[in-house]
Structure 1
Amino acid sequence: MTIPAASAPAVPAALAAADALNARLDTTRTEPAASPQLEALALAVTANQPVLLWGEPGIGKSAGLRQLADALGVHLETVVASVHEPSDFAGLPVVGDDPAASGVPMAPPDWAVRLARTGHGLLFFDELSSAPPAVQAALLRVVLERRVGSLALPPSVRIVAAANPPASAADGWHLSPPLANRFVHLDWTHDPRTVARGMTGTWPETALPTVAPGRVPGAVARARGVVGGFLTARPGLAHHLPKDAESRGRAWPSPRTWEMALRLLATGYAAGAGREALAAALTGAVGEAAGLELLSYLENLDLPDPDRVLADPAAFALPERGDRQLAFLIAVVAAVQSEPTRPRWEAGWEVLAKAVDAGVPDVAARAARDLAALRAPDWPVPPGIDAFLELLQLAGALPGAR
Structure 2
Amino acid sequence: MQATLTITPAQLPGVLLHVTVVRPVFLWGAPGIGKSSLVRDFADSLGLECVTLLGTQLAPEDLIGVPELVGGRSRFAPPESIARTEPYCLFLDELNASAPEVQKAFYSLILDRRLGTYELPEGSVVIGAGNRATDNALARPMASALVNRLVHVHLRASSTDWLVWAANNGIHPWVVDYLVQRPDHLWSAPPKTEEPFSTPRAWHMLSDVMHSYGESLDEETLGLLAYGTLTGAHASAFRAYVKTVRHAYDLDAVLKGDAPWPRRPEDRDLLYFLSETFRARLIKELPADRRGVSTRGRELAFRAKALLVELAEISLECAQLVIASDVDGVPVLPTWFLVEVGRDLPRLVAARN
The normalised TM-score by structure 1 is 0.38
Specify which structure has the bigger relative contact order, considering alpha-carbon pairs within 8 angstroms and separated by 6 or more residues.
1
